[in-house]
């Protein structure tokens, strides 16, 4: 296992430790809709909350219920057992009802010094773009006031430019799997993207550069089937590796710790906040966004076509309403286009479930003649 891969699977990584040692504050956020550029522009360390397939949920179960998604319960357990004590502040988002519940219990049972609620609209139109821009201004002001830092437009633009560089490099790595020779597994891509959300962008870019160099020297991977995957938030890197060990490689995806970050580079110009709002809202390929299903469907279709995927596997964490319903729509539409689809419901972070999932995937590979 390489150093970056290990770091992706660590909560308090060496960069976090170093930053804290230097007196830098670490701000946690829970959803891809949070513009981490604002946190970086404030001179703070942005860190996306993850659970990495953590099995334990019992501390969280004293607050959340068994009817709440396992990912959120796992995250809350990690908060309550002290794993996340390195976070100095939290930015809540209304990603979904489970996530809101997780944040509210976090605040209730284990509050942090700084807590800000960033409201993200559920639609994308001129009115909601204006609303989201104002929300970003409120976030900027809250950080600025609490940490007594000025967030200048030029700092924000610099952070946005770095983020755009990262997006462009990720896209290059992501697309490299669409060649005949595949040199990176899907679980490695997830790992790289989990890492992206755990590091300052500057440091992440350095890791990406060395990874690209190293990737070029690799031998092509054996591939039994080319698979598109999508569904509920998953940072279960090991689970993905287990499933890929059956020979079906994930060569494209629409996960939120994954392909949802895939987008064309934007040339940053003009006023930062409205542009940032637009970048985030326009590219938020999450089923929480209403009136946007056709975009998500087109994204999946395009990924499948460009990557020449043999089939699609759609995951949903038990009790995930957004993906649970979305997957029925997507499965129906993909099957209409002749794309074989497997829908898998899973309990987040439960290794006892791995065998069942592998059997289903193996049967699917056989069904599609691979």
Partner 1 sequence: MIVMNENSAMPGEGLFERVHSTFQMLSILPEEISEDQLNEILKLLPSGNIDAARFMLAPSRWEVSRTSLLSIYTWLEEARSAKEEGRKVILVPFNFPPEIIHAFENASPITSEVMSTLAAGMLESGGEEYWDYAMGLGLPDHLCSGNTIELASILAGADLKPDVIISATPGGCDVNAKIHEFVSNRINIPQLLLEKPTYDTNSRRGKEIYYKNFRRLVKNLEEITGETLKEENLRRVAEKANQASELYYDLWELRKRRPSPIPGSSAFLAYGMRFSMWGRDEAVESMKKILEVSIRNSKDGDYNAREEVARLFWVYLPFYYDGYEYNEWLEMNDVANIGDALLLFYPQVIDTSSYDSMMEGFAESAWNMGMTRQMGAGSMSMQWTEDIIAAVKEFHIDFAIYCGHHSCKQTWSAFTILRNEIKKRTGVPVLCLQGDSWIGRMTPMSAILDEMSLFLKNVVIPARKRKERSESKEG
> Which residues neighbour 316 within 8 Å (Cβ) at sequence distance 6 or greater?
231, 232, 323, 324, 327, 343, 344, 345, 346
CA 333/CA 327 separation, integer angstroms: 10
Q: Which residues pair with 83 in a beta bridge?
A: none
Using CA atoms, how far apart are residues 280 and 118, in angstroms rounded to an integer?
13
| Measured CA angle at 229 (ends 249, 207), to 5 deg | 70
Beta carbon of residue 94, minimum distance to partner 1 (angstroms, whole number): 5
CB-wise, 70 or 186, nearer to partner 1? 70
Kindly state the smallest distance separating residue 336's Cβ from partner 1, in Å. 13
Decide if 284 contacts 33 (C-beta within 8 A): yes
**Which residue in 303, 324, 306 sits closest to 315, CA to CA?**
324
Q: Closer to partner 1 at the Cβ: 122 or 171?
A: 122
Closer residue to partner 1 (CB): 86 or 293: 293
What's the closest the beta carbon of residue 67 comes to partner 1, in angstroms?
A: 5
Nearest CA to 114 out of 56, 171, 46, 68 is that of: 46
d(CA 201, CA 203): 5
Please, what is the minimum distance in Å from the beta carbon of residue 154 to partner 1? 28
Whole-number Å distance between alpha carbons of 32 and 279 = 12
Helix, strand and coil in the chain, % to nearest 5 = 50, 10, 35
How far is it, in rounded angstroms, from Cα 245 to Cα 223?
10
Nearer to partner 1, 97 or 165 (CB): 97
Q: Shortest distance, CB of residue 325 to partner 1, whole angstroms? A: 4
Q: Read off the tokens for 113.
A: 């010094």
- Residues sharing a CB contact under 8 Å with residue 329, sequence separation 6 or more, in sequence order: 293, 297
Nearer to partner 1, 57 or 288 (CB): 288
Cβ nearer to partner 1, comparing 96 with 256: 96
Nearer to partner 1, 25 or 98 (CB): 98
Q: Which residues of the chain form contacts with partner 1 (CB under 8 A)? A: 62-65, 67-69, 72, 94, 96-98, 100-102, 104-105, 107-108, 117, 119, 121-123, 127-128, 131, 287-288, 290-291, 293, 316, 318-319, 321-322, 324-326, 328-329, 331, 343, 345
| Least spacing, CB of residue 2 vs partner 1, in Å | 37
Closest CA to 87 of 116, 51, 118, 114: 114
Q: Least distance in Å: CB of 123 to partner 1?
A: 6
Q: How far, in Å, CA of 45 to CA of 88, rounded?
A: 10
> Which residue's CB is nearer to partner 1, number 108 or number 264?
108
Minimum distance of partner 1 from residue 272's CB (angstroms): 22
């Amino acid at each position: 296992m390489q150093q970056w891969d290990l770091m992706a699977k660590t909560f308090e990584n060496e960069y976090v430790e170093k930053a804290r040692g230097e007196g830098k504050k670490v701000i946690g956020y829970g959803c891809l809709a949070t513009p981490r550029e604002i946190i970086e522009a404030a001179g703070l360390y942005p860190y996306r909350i993850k659970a990495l397939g953590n099995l334990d949920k019992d501390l969280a179960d004293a607050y959340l219920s068994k009817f709440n998604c396992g990912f959120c319960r796992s995250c809350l357990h990690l908060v309550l057992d002290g794993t996340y004590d390195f976070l100095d502040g939290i930015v809540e988002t209304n990603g979904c009802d489970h996530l809101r519940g997780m944040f509210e219990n976090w605040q209730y049972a284990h509050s942090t010094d700084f807590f800000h609620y960033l409201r993200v609209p559920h639609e994308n139109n001129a009115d909601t773009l204006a609303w989201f821009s104002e929300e970003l201004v409120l976030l900027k002001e809250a950080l600025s006031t609490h940490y007594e830092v000025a967030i200048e437009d030029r700092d924000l633009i610099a952070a946005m430019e770095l983020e755009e560089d990262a997006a462009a490099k990720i896209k290059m790595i992501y697309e490299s799997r669409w060649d005949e020779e595949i040199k990176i597994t899907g679980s490695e891509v997830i790992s790289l993207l989990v890492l992206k959300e755990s590091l300052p962008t500057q440091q992440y870019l350095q890791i990406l550069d060395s990874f690209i160099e190293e990737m070029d020297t690799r031998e092509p991977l054996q591939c039994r089937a080319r698979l598109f995957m999508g569904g509920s938030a998953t940072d279960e890197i090991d689970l993905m590796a287990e499933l890929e060990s059956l020979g079906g490689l994930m060569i494209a995806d629409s996960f939120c710790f994954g392909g949802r970050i895939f987008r064309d580079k934007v040339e940053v110009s003009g006023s930062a906040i409205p542009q940032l709002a637009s970048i985030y809202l326009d590219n938020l390929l999450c089923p929480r966004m209403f009136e946007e299903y056709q975009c998500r469907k087109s994204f999946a279709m395009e990924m499948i076509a460009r990557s020449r995927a043999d089939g699609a596997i759609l995951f949903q964490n038990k009790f995930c309403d957004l993906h649970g319903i979305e997957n029925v729509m997507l499965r129906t539409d993909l099957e209409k286009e002749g794309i074989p689809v497997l829908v898998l419901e899973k309990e987040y972070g439960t290794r006892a479930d791995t065998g069942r999932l592998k059997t289903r995937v193996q049967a699917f590979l056989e069904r599609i003649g691979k």
